[in-house]
Structure 1
Amino acid sequence: MEMTKQTKFILAIALQILIIFSIVIFKMAVLTGGTEILLKIEPIDPRDPLRGDYATFQYSISNLDSYLFGNEQVRNGDTVYVVLRQSGKYWTAQKAQKTKPATDNQIFIKGKVASGGLESQAELLPQQRFSRSRIHIVYGIEEYYIPEGKGRGFSFWNKEAIAKVSVDENGNAVLKQIYVDDKPWP
């Protein structure tokens, strides 16, 4: 049985639609079934002329001291799990590890080592294990697209910026809302 060009075209379109819907359904599942946490934002960049209005953030849990990993060696690109604890109204990093935490009563977020991890075997020298180096982690919630025209002329500097993030039981995170000086933004 041979497929016609029209059948192949319809299957290709259907596959693309299925992929888009699966991404949306995954994000919606995290939003509705996840635990809400508040993270302190450290803003980076408010606008890119090629991509429009958006903000790039890093969080108080984005740059971790290497001692939070204990004796584990992490490399750039490794998937890591950061166990969080509530400290006042914000959540902060308690420890970090390469394996998914086993206990049900811990809140953790999954990320990737972007920089600061080991890059080669030559870096496995004992003195480096105990240095106070920082490891930069990305969680997939660093960019927030802003309705057109709302980002121009706005600055986060000298303002308290908070992200409400939903985290599911596997550590997947979705950015729900930004608050600036305790008001929803934008």
Structure 2
Amino acid sequence: MKKYKWIIIALNLIVLLIYFNFSVSKKEAVLKDGKLVLLQLAPVDPRSLMQGDYMSLRYHIAQNINMDHIPKRGYCVVRLDKNGVADRVRLQKETTPLNNGEYLIKYSSPEQWTINIGAESFFFQEGQAEKYENAKYGGVKIDENGNSVLVGLYNGQLKNIK
């Protein structure tokens, strides 16, 4: 029986490592091939804006939503202006319908009052908070399936803050 115990532990470890590497490769593919979309940041309670070495983010596209009639998970359909800034068009459960010039961003609704697109925290090096205080946009890369990865914060002139 001891022999099987170590085999089962080894198999579980292998499966975990395969899953982890698959998840990393999916995110790397979004970073490499995804479309850059700028999401306007919405005001956040200043008492919780800076907490240690990260910034809590809230997006304009996630505000003023009637939460009574949306599914817990779905897609935020956005349209980009000439500068690449996204505007919410609608929320939908499936990837279709999708019109020309519209893009998908997956969301989840863990609470009754908001939706999350999975990029609600921006981590930075300690002591760099002042640099990011005036950020106006969160830059995310998205793929055709609505997966998104936060790539940086942008100022009012649409320049990446580094």
TM-score range normalised by the length of the shorter chain: 0.7 to 0.9
Per-residue deviation, 1:179: 1.6
What is the total number of aligned residue pairs between the two structures? 156
* Cα distance in 2 between the residues matched to 1:55 and 1:26: 25
2:81 corresponds to which of 76, 87, 90: 87
Secondary structure of the structure 1 residue equivalent to 2:160:
strand
- Which residue matches 1:128? none
TM-score (normalised: structure 2): 0.76
Per-residue deviation, 1:139: 0.6
> Residues 135 and 153 of structure 2 are in contact (CA less than 8 Å); yes or no, is this contact kept in structure 1?
no
Unaligned regions of 5+ residues in structure 2, if any? none
Matches within 5 A, 1:47-58: 47-48=50-51, 52-58=52-58
2:93 corresponds to which of 78, 86, 98: 98
Secondary structure of the structure 2 residue equivalent to 1:38:
strand
Q: Which structure has the greater CA radius of gyration?
A: 1
Per-residue deviation, 1:2: 7.3
- Which residue matches 2:16? 16
* Alpha carbons of structure 1 residues 19 and 147: separation in structure 2 relative to 1, 3 Å: farther
Identity %: 26
**1:146 equivalenced with 2:124 (yes/no):** yes
> Residues 47 and 55 of structure 1 are in contact (CA less than 8 Å); yes or no, is this contact kept in structure 2?
yes
More strand by share: 1
- Which residue matches 1:126? none
> Residues 132 and 161 of structure 2 are in contact (CA less than 8 Å); yes or no, is this contact kept in structure 1?
no
> Residues 84 and 95 of structure 1 are in contact (CA less than 8 Å); yes or no, is this contact kept in structure 2?
yes
* Cα distance in 2 between the residues matched to 1:109 and 1:87: 16
Secondary structure of the structure 1 residue equivalent to 2:23:
helix
- Which residue matches 2:109? 113
* Alpha carbons of structure 1 residues 160 and 145: separation in structure 2 relative to 1, 3 Å: closer
Per-residue deviation, 1:140: 0.4
Per-residue deviation, 1:160: 4.4
* Cα distance in 2 between the residues matched to 1:148 and 1:19: 31
